């Protein structure tokens, strides 16, 4: 009996050691490099090669940084994490019909992306695809050439209550045919989306520059929505509420199309030069 108890104690101790070892292997900050290796621990002096290689070695709420220019590959994010590559070229090149970055995180956890150059090579599906999580922030990034039939620069389709923020970013030349586009905000099921787009250039996309559906509340400010083939800014289904201020909507097939919900203007916008300008919903919103 004593021997069995001793073995049980030893097994429990070994289990604790293994758990501690696994936890210690995940760092709060990890690094990737164009000349790194995913067999490395992703430290500053021994960086990894790809985002996918680094994410398993990065703790929840941790951050991945880029040491130098590189193509760091596609990644699926399943926890709260930041990828910040503000001061160097951080590219991710999609393969045929694939997504560059997929976010499928727990309901209380948010993801932050900054300084990325996402390139779809005209065959990629989505630059960033959001499925679940508390929220997603994209800053100082370029998302382009996701040219699959349903391709989107950003596809934000939360299944729960989630927030999207896009700032200081360019989303261009995405989609093909009528169904692809620049930014799609479309909660699924009982999902609810809240979004803010500030200083965003959404141009030369195949379908709509920005398409908003479902239970969505969106604020667009200081942005350019231009030369998108079918629509600049459109609501199509559900009951979205969209408010627009200090933005330019020009050169699109139809500038503003309200087929569901509302798209309201603070009357600080320029809506002209489209094949058909369309119109905002109702009278101007008062500035406070």
Report pLDDT digits (tens) over 14-54.
Answer: 444 333 344 446 999 999 999 999 999 999 999 999 999 99
Taking only the tens place, the pLDDT of each residue in 256-283 is: 999 999 999 999 999 999 999 999 998 8
Tell me how far apart the alpha carbons of residues 128 and 225 are, in angstroms, rounded to a whole number. Answer: 19
Question: What's residue 288's pLDDT?
Answer: 65
Please check whether residue 54 is in contact with residue 29, taking contact to mean a CB–CB distance below 8 angstroms: no
Q: What value does the mean pLDDT take over residues 189-205? A: 98
Fold held by 73-278: Pectate Lyase C-like (2.160.20)
User: pTM for the whole thing?
Assistant: 0.90
Structure tokens, 257: 């199309």
Give 102's Cβ-side CA count (13 Å radius).
12
Q: What value does the mean pLDDT take over residues 64-77? A: 95
Taking only the tens place, the pLDDT of each residue in 210-248 is: 999 999 999 999 999 999 999 999 999 999 999 999 999
Mean pLDDT estimate for the chain: 91
**Quick one: which of 83, 103, 97 has its CA closest to 154?**
103
Question: What's residue 23's pLDDT?
Answer: 43
Taking only the tens place, the pLDDT of each residue in 80-107 is: 999 999 888 887 877 778 999 999 999 9
The domain spans of the chain are 26-59, 73-278
Taking only the tens place, the pLDDT of each residue in 103-120 is: 999 999 999 999 999 999
């Amino acid at each position: 009996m004593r021997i069995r108890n001793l073995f049980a104690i030893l097994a429990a101790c070994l289990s604790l050691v293994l758990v501690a070892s696994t936890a210690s292997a995940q760092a709060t900050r990890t690094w990737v490099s164009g000349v790194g290796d995913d067999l490395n621990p992703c430290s500053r002096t021994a960086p990894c090669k790809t985002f996918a290689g680094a994410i398993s070695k990065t703790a929840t709420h941790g951050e991945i940084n880029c040491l130098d220019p590189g193509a760091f590959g596609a990644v699926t994010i399943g926890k709260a994490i930041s990828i910040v590559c503000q001061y160097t070229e951080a590219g991710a090149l999609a393969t045929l019909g694939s997504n560059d970055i997929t976010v499928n995180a727990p309901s209380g956890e948010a993801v932050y992306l900054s300084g990325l150059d996402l390139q779809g090579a005209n065959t990629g599906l989505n630059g960033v695809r959001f499925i679940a999580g508390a929220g997603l922030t994209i800053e100082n990034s370029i998302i382009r050439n996701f040219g699959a039939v349903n391709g989107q620069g950003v596809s934000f389709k939360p299944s729960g209550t989630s927030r999207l923020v896009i700032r200081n970013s360019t989303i261009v030349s995405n989609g093909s045919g009528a169904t692809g586009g620049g930014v799609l905000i479309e909660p699924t099921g009982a999902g609810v989306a809240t979004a803010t787009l500030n200083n965003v250039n959404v141009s030369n996309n195949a379908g709509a520059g920005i398409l908003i559906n479902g239970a969505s509340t969106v604020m667009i400010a200081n942005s350019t929505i231009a030369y998108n083939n079918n629509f600049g800014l459109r609501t199509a289904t559900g009951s979205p509420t969209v408010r627009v201020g200090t933005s330019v909507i020009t050169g699109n097939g139809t500038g503003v199309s309200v087929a569901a919900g509302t798209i309201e203007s603070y009357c600080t916008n320029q809506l002209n030069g489209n094949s058909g300008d369309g119109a905002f919903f109702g009278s101007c919103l008062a500035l406070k």
